[in-house]
Chain A
Amino acid sequence: MMTILFDGIAYGMLLFLLGCGLSVTLGLMNLINLAHGSFAMGGGYLAVIAVNRWGVPFFVSLPLIFVATAALGALLDRTLYVHVYEKSHFDQVMFSIGLVFMSVALVSYFAGHEQVFVDLPASLRERFDLFGMQIGAYRLLIILVCGAMAVALHMMLKKTRFGSQLRASVDDRRVAEGLGIRVRLIFVVAFAIGSGLAGLGGALGAEILGLDPSFPLKYMVYFLIVVAVGGTGTITGPFVASLLLGVADVAGKYYVPAAGAFIIYVVMLLTLVLRPQGLFARAR
């Protein structure tokens, strides 16, 4: 019972890390970026190259991957996404889904179509008992990293100067610019952070979700569910939604394996019937 709860939380945390960047770009910057999963896949493959091929220790590789995918995000934002910010949502969807297909083809050309795995240090393969709970060290690490990230993001958005500038830029871009806020720069940084988080999620998630070139397509639905249930524009929303979905998914599959795959959709349907704007978002 407790083990199921623990596994569910770990799974939910992973969903949060993968999906929260999408929630930020969608909710705050009004940009539909379906290629979000491609950044996660990029992070995963970077981990494979760094750890397996170059022998970088796993724990050292995680912050490096965050920085690398964030830099990649900033670069693509300045070169590609800059052209679609002002376009319609339909254009953004077509553009970003195109990017997804390109990333899938690119990865499959260079890395092959097989599942790949990161070589984890032995210390993460341990299992131990805690108050009758069977705990896997790796899943514990996921919970710790994702939890820390959630708190940091929340604080950044609510308490820092950057956070208020970001919110101001979103609420009224023209006024914000008039006040001397460098809106473009703020957006680039926000986009980069979102991409970096996705990359980190991809690196951490490879062990549990698997990693192959079809990753961004396979998990696109999950990212979108997290954002839809949690509502856009906050950190709390997707966080609670991810935990809810993760625990419901794992528990559902354990107790009613025959219907397990549908639980996550049932939760989404119920939430959206009761709160169409998502769990925490302001009604528009």
Chain B
Amino acid sequence: MRNITRAGVALGAALGAAAAVLPGGAALSQAQDAKPFKLGVVLPMTGPFQSHGKQIHAGMQLYIQQNGDTVAGRKIELLLRDDAGVADQTRRLSQEAVVRDKVDALFGYGLTPLAMAAAPISAQAKVPQIIYAATSSITEKSPYIVRTSHTLPQVASVLGQWAAKQGVKTFVSLVSDYGPGIDSETWFVKDYEANGGKVLDKLRVPLASPDFAPFLQRIADLKPDAIFSFLPSGVGAIMMRQFVERGLDKSGIRVIVMGDVVNDDSLNSMGDVVLGVTSAAVYSAAHPSPKNKAFVASFEKAFNMRPDFMAAFAFDGMHALYEALKKTNGSSDGTKLVEAMKGMSWESVRGPVTIDPDTRDLIQDVYMRKVEKRDGQLWNIEFDKIPAVKDPAKQK
């Protein structure tokens, strides 16, 4: 035990010395609390949403690899739990992590119902909970939730304004009939119509039956300038194939979607049918900054897959946690950590971001991208940017 403590002190001192040259790390970290910092990571590592789990876990691991596993004298210890994407499992595992394993923070939660299920636990235990689900209201369910991803209204409303400004006159919206789909539809339509656009029809596709024939036929008959769509990414590929099969790609109807549909993780397997699809999102693996290029290169090398938005979000989540721990000198008091994160700004792999002190959501740039082929691979190439977007759903 003594050896471990001494090693911790030595590491902490070394890191403190390194941190001293960085802003925010000015106060020399002391190993006042040499216990490891336990991070309860609750993710869907199996089941239909396992790609989110794998990407988030990989993003965290990469951050730890690059920045060391000890910060402000505390060794970061990951306790990974698989909830298979089922909300009551998420709740049970989060509760166990807090009560039995005494974790200092919770991390993960890539889907809205999962984040919602665990929110009361973080609120009661006063434990920071870093989440990735995109429904706006989640952060209001617990004052200890910090979101380093995006919200759907943040992206959808920007997309609505952008489309109206581009002179796209009529839209048909085509979304999956579930929370995120309806959320995106609502915010897109609101901002698009407020800027003079006209939505001809709002189609909601049941999740269980992805034959798009009747919906696409309706679109073909309505002849809008463009369609707006939010579908889970695999289902998005089916839609695009049937869109092309029906000859709609030659009809001049543009396809404008939420970035999730052309997610980097599955983009290449969708094939050439998605070429030219326009989307809005906060992160593309093709973001041209040097920081992102380094991130993508080391990620591909370490995990043999392309990072998608979830990996980038997790990388940022770890960054927020590390910086907060530096500010609190290694104290794992939940209230202090969340306070330390509020207002924090940094250069993320997606561009500049700030944690909004009022909502604990990110203020960030939203990019317009188009699917193009580069070196035999498909990428979302950014061509326009709307800077410093706040979550519109929480603005009074």
Contact = CB atoms under 8 A, between A and B. Distances in A.
Contacts of A3: 217
Contacts of A156: none
B271 interface: yes
Contacts of B51: 113-114
B172 to A, nearest CB: 10
B50 interface: yes
B237 to A, nearest CB: 5
A117 B241 contact: yes
B218 A254 contact: yes
Given A114-B266, A114-B269, A136-B246, A7 B48 contact: no
B177 A261 contact: yes
Contact of B215 (A117, A136, A253): A253
A26 interface: no
B235 A254 contact: no
Interface in B77-111: none
Q: Is the interface of A mostly helix, strand, loop or mixed?
A: helix
B245 A261 contact: no
Given A3-B217, A208-B211, A115 B237 contact: yes
Interface in A200-249: 207-210, 212, 214, 218, 221-222, 249
A4 interface: yes
Interface in B198-217: 201, 203-204, 206, 208-211, 213-215, 217
A114 B234 contact: yes
A267 interface: no
Interface residues of A, number: 36
Nearest to B245: A136
Contact of B214 (A114, A116, A254): A254
B238 interface: yes
Given A7-B217, A114-B51, A260 B206 contact: yes
A11 B213 CA distance: 9
B179 interface: no
A148 to B, nearest CB: 22
Q: Is the interface of B mostly helix, strand, loop or mixed?
A: helix
Given A127-B247, A261-B177, A116 B269 contact: yes
A217 to B, nearest CB: 9
A57 to B, nearest CB: 19
B355 to A, nearest CB: 32
A159 interface: no
B269 A115 contact: yes
Nearest to B232: A115
Nearest to B50: A113
B200 to A, nearest CB: 12
B51 to A, nearest CB: 6
Contacts of A218: 208
A260 B214 contact: yes
A79 to B, nearest CB: 27
A114 B394 CA distance: 34
A261 B217 contact: no
A261 B247 contact: no
A207 B241 contact: yes
Contact of A254 (B204, B217, B247): B217
B269 A257 contact: no
B21 interface: no
Q: Of B177, B203, B234, B246, which is in contact with the most chain A CB atoms at under 10 Å from its CB?
A: B234
A210 B245 contact: no
A123 B231 CA distance: 28
B194 interface: no
B245 A125 contact: yes
B214 A250 contact: yes
B242 interface: yes
Interface in A69-116: 108, 113-116
A152 interface: no
B50 A125 contact: no
B245 A138 contact: yes
Contacts of B177: 261
B157 to A, nearest CB: 24
B214 A251 contact: yes
A3 B219 CA distance: 13
A244 to B, nearest CB: 16
B165 to A, nearest CB: 29
B7 interface: no
Interface in B35-57: 46, 48, 50-51
A283 interface: no
B393 interface: no
Contacts of B269: 114-117
B204 A7 contact: no
Contact of A117 (B203, B211, B237): B237
B217 A4 contact: yes
Given A115-B235, A257-B218, 16 more contacts: A3-B217, A10-B213, A108-B50, A114-B234, A125-B244, A127-B247, A136-B246, A207-B241, A207-B245, A208-B242, A210-B237, A210-B238, A249-B211, A254-B214, A257-B214, A261-B208
Interface of B: 46, 48, 50-51, 177, 201, 203-204, 206, 208-211, 213-215, 217-218, 234-235, 237-238, 241-242, 244-247, 265-266, 269, 271
Top 4 nearest A-B pairs by Cβ distance? A115-B234, A261-B206, A253-B214, A254-B214
10 contacts: A4-B217, A115-B266, A115-B269, A207-B245, A210-B238, A249-B214, A252-B214, A254-B217, A257-B214, A260-B214
